[in-house]
Amino acid sequence: MHMAEMLDQQRNLVAQGCRVAAARGLVDGILGHLSLRVDDDHLLVRCRSDTDTGVAFTRPSDIRLITFDGTAGADGELDGYRVPNELPVHLETMRADAGHRAVAHLHPPSVVAADLAGITMRPIYGAYDIPGTRLARDGVPVYERAVLIRNSALGREMVAAMGGAPVVICRGHGITSAAATVQQAVLQGISLDKLAQMSLRVCAARGALREIDDSSWDDLPDLGSGFNIDAAWRHEVARLSDHPS
């Protein structure tokens, strides 16, 4: 496949990921962005222009090729476009782990609210959402500073708090989700949001948050990427027909 054609496909995927995140309420308005590592020196990232109408309306043309120095990755790539203020979220997350090819920085209100309420994300349910349960099994770390992560030092602080986990909650801010693919990075955000919503509902009903018993784990199998990622992503894309695109 020609390099230009491959980049076009990747731009389409990152733009699609932005629209899926917006359709799921993980971002609102103009805040939030996704990225995808192209090679050791370049990444695609959702950028902004003077005609930007919000993440829900992300176009492939909003996904621009840049270098790890934050400069244009090719002639014209940043003409009329600006990289996100929080580009260090993406750069430092990718630098920390070669397996982090895709990064989603999102602002899911339920996750922010649950964390501010002092609720720790724990595996409180099982087969309701097995990927989400597994995500919470070892705990979801929290970066405790409610800051705009606009420089490398803050990006490295966030990554240190992440500690090798796939997702970190940024207190009073949002989340950063990292994975091998755009699809997985966004789906992790969806699962964490589901867990936060359920935790808030249980607490609102004055219930106690209890982790599932140890004996349940053996009967919560990993159903594989064909189900957890491929089938789940087809559904998310299908949902877009009922949402802005």
Whether pLDDT at 44 is above 80: yes
- Per-chain mean pLDDT for the chain: 95
Confidence of residue 243 (pLDDT cuts 50, 70, 90): low
Please say whether the structural domain 1-240 has been given the CATH code 3.10.450.50.
no
Residues designated catalytic? 86
The percent of residues in the chain predicted with pLDDT above 90, rounded, is 92
What's this model's pTM, rounded to 2 decimal places?
0.95
What is the pLDDT, as a whole number, of residue 242? 60
Closest CA to 33 of 150, 206, 122, 192: 150
Query: What are the strands, taking DSSP E only, across the chain?
Result: 33-37, 42-46, 63-67, 102-106, 142-143, 167-170, 174-179
Closest CA to 170 of 149, 135, 200, 142: 142
Give the least confident one: 114-118, 141-145, 161-165, 227-231. Answer: 227-231
Confidence of residue 245 (pLDDT cuts 50, 70, 90): very low
First-to-last alpha carbon distance for the chain, in angstroms, is 27
CA-only gyration radius of the chain, Å: 18
Residue type at 134 in one-letter notation: R
Cα–Cα distance, 3 to 25 (Å, whole number): 33
Q: Domain spans of the chain?
A: 1-240
